[in-house]
Structure 1
């Protein structure tokens, strides 16, 4: 990857005309909201199975913000569900407080989380935000209907167009959507007392206060973990490094939550969830309680983090983009559709 051109410095989408801003969602009330890790801890580490009957989780269920993720997705154009008992959750993230965010640009994260039919494991596939794909026409007909970066779909048609674009690209039917803000890493990590992350190389953050990260296993507090998860420009593979760092932090948080006494202590758990101060929204059909109950036997060791197969980066006109490896991507998502874990892992390694 080191010989490939670097990804674009910002996330501004280069279009011939003005790009409409994505729809804004109502800011949810602080104490009844999860960010991604809080959601993953509850549904993937099994806490919800024990708390599903409790008033606390039910109050969260009632208070969480709901979005119209599927209302504008044409049913006739959606892929059919093959493995009917498996579940595919689209995790959409942004880092609203990223110092690199200027002019309304967003650091988008797109993850297809596949939960197996027997709920014994989950595979989380990150799709780089600059992946060059075909974006369907927006509902107003003014945008899309052409190839573009996958994160253009959000600017053009909000969450429903992202769902439609991901489904068209992967052939995988999305069952639920969760929208999160990665800036919440700081509060989450601090609530856990810090996390341990294996730093891949010595480097200095490009953001103030310009922290120095040393190679090897390091204990990071919330500010350090968030800073680490944002870094990409110092690495030969650019945005792929950022994805890798996010995955490391997610796994470290899950491991710390599972082993640090948080999940077994109702008081600590409540503090932990309420410390995840920034917003998460879910689609209208997603039940946190049902999901938590289904996931009660799953642990972080059963999670596999993958990245969409690519051939590297390049340019299309003035845009720096990521080119998919079509053959490998098809093999991977065909395996996801059929809920074949061995084939998913095999396709990811090729």
Structure 2
């Protein structure tokens, strides 16, 4: 199995344009809202800020373990954990499986923003990765015992605080902020923009995702979009890597729709989108406001697109269960060490590298693939 799969910013021009639109579009949306507040829209600003749920319980749990959490090594660098939750609560979400009263992280991305915002590196963490999950506070008030289990179990056991602590123990990186997005929030955002068009090279019939689509250009509403980004068994090679690539392409298409539809500069269209987007988020208290989000996005907009890249943590089949993953120890540690030191991560199609100490020269290169362009004839 390929140890690292990434979408290098040195890849296709389409990938670079999508990333540029994503960063500029997010910054523009926040800028428009901020100008509206200055012009007398404080009530609207406050209402949208109030939509964002501040996870105070997780903040208290993380504070309890502050002394054992990693220390940031480079001033100005930031690590944000983005967690896609597969909770089945909400209208229509039970169709994706039985609601056991817990939630597991369906998609998790560690976003590293370099000091001075010169680079951004997004590292996907597979849900089936075998990791050490620390003892965490359960929702019933009891504490779990530490265990070696699948990564997405951390969220089921102890929510976002447990997921953050698991990632910190895995990477020895300090997580500065985190944001959780649930099924219903994702669907509402897609519906708020009137659906998103994708290009399908072949028909899709995925019973697990409750999804049937023809080949060619198809406009997906929120329900079908969720099935599309979550489908795995019937699309591509059936891997989580292929699914994560598809999620990134869909995000680019969503940004295209927002910009082409004139949403960002049209208050009548922008407001429903912002309501959906802010209602979808649960974040750490510091990030739980439009001001907090804007400060984050403002730094992103100045990063050169050739310095924005995506990859999956180095992993291989778990030695005791091929349906699970385990880290490729040397190469994973090399990646984490580069991020801790805020050094550039090199991603390329033919990346090799020995996985040795990242302080040596040249630094290890991580093998990846360029983002593929969709084509509909």
TM-score (norm: length of structure 2) = 0.70
C-alpha separation in 2, matches of 1:325 and 1:232: 23
C-alpha separation in 2, matches of 1:237 and 1:243: 11
Q: 1:142-191 CA distances to partner (integer Å, 9 max, x unpaired)? A: 53423111122223223222111111101211111211113433332232
Whether 1:102 and 2:105 are equivalent positions in the alignment is no
Q: 1:213 to 1:333 in 2, by over 3 A?
A: farther
Q: 1:294 to 1:238 in 2, by over 3 A?
A: closer
Q: 1:293 to 1:152 in 2, by over 3 A?
A: closer
C-alpha separation in 2, matches of 1:241 and 1:99: 23
Q: How many residue pairs end up in the alignment?
A: 310
Deviation at 1:268, TM superposition (A): 1.5
Partner of 1:329: 332
Deviation at 1:301, TM superposition (A): 8.5
Deviation at 1:276, TM superposition (A): 4.5
Unaligned runs of 5+ in 2: 3-21, 352-364, 369-377
C-alpha separation in 1, matches of 2:170 and 2:187: 33
Secondary structure at the counterpart of residue 133 of structure 1 = strand
Q: 1:227 to 1:152 in 2, by over 3 A?
A: closer
- Superposed, 1:213-228 pairs within 5 Å as 213-214=214-215, 218-228=218-228
TM-score (norm: length of structure 1) = 0.75
- Superposed, 1:285-296 pairs within 5 Å as 285-286=286-287, 287-296=289-298
Partner of 1:52: 34
Secondary structure at the counterpart of residue 249 of structure 1 = helix
Q: 1:65 to 1:103 in 2, by over 3 A?
A: closer
Computing the radius of gyration from Cα coordinates, the structure with the larger value is 2
Partner of 1:349: 367
What is the aligned counterpart of 1:84 among 75, 82, 90?
75
Higher deviation after alignment, 147-156 or 190-199: 190-199
Q: 1:20-76 CA distances to partner (integer Å, 9 max, x unpaired)? A: xxxxxxxxxxxxxxxxxxxx8899434223423512333322442211333223122
Q: 1:42 to 1:290 in 2, by over 3 A?
A: farther
C-alpha separation in 2, matches of 1:209 and 1:43: 31
Secondary structure at the counterpart of residue 254 of structure 1 = helix
2:209/2:231 contact within 8 Å kept = no
Higher deviation after alignment, 129-138 or 87-96: 87-96
C-alpha separation in 1, matches of 2:182 and 2:218: 24
Q: 1:94-132 CA distances to partner (integer Å, 9 max, x unpaired)? A: 233163322526452222122233335533222111110
C-alpha separation in 1, matches of 2:261 and 2:160: 35
Whether 1:310 and 2:298 are equivalent positions in the alignment is no
Whether 1:194 and 2:195 are equivalent positions in the alignment is yes
Q: 1:331 to 1:70 in 2, by over 3 A?
A: farther
Deviation at 1:285, TM superposition (A): 1.9
Q: 1:313 to 1:221 in 2, by over 3 A?
A: farther
Unaligned runs of 5+ in 1: 3-39
Let me know the Cα RMSD of the aligned residues: 3.3
2:315/2:325 contact within 8 Å kept = yes
C-alpha separation in 1, matches of 2:245 and 2:94: 17
- Superposed, 1:78-227 pairs within 5 Å as 78-95=69-86, 96=88, 97=93, 99-104=95-100, 106=103, 108=105, 109-119=107-117, 121-139=119-137, 142-199=143-200, 201-207=202-208, 210-214=211-215, 218-227=218-227
C-alpha separation in 2, matches of 1:285 and 1:69: 12
C-alpha separation in 2, matches of 1:313 and 1:247: 26
Partner of 1:250: 251
Secondary structure at the counterpart of residue 95 of structure 2 = coil
2:205/2:211 contact within 8 Å kept = yes
C-alpha separation in 2, matches of 1:130 and 1:329: 16
Deviation at 1:238, TM superposition (A): 3.4
C-alpha separation in 1, matches of 2:279 and 2:49: 16
1:83/1:338 contact within 8 Å kept = yes
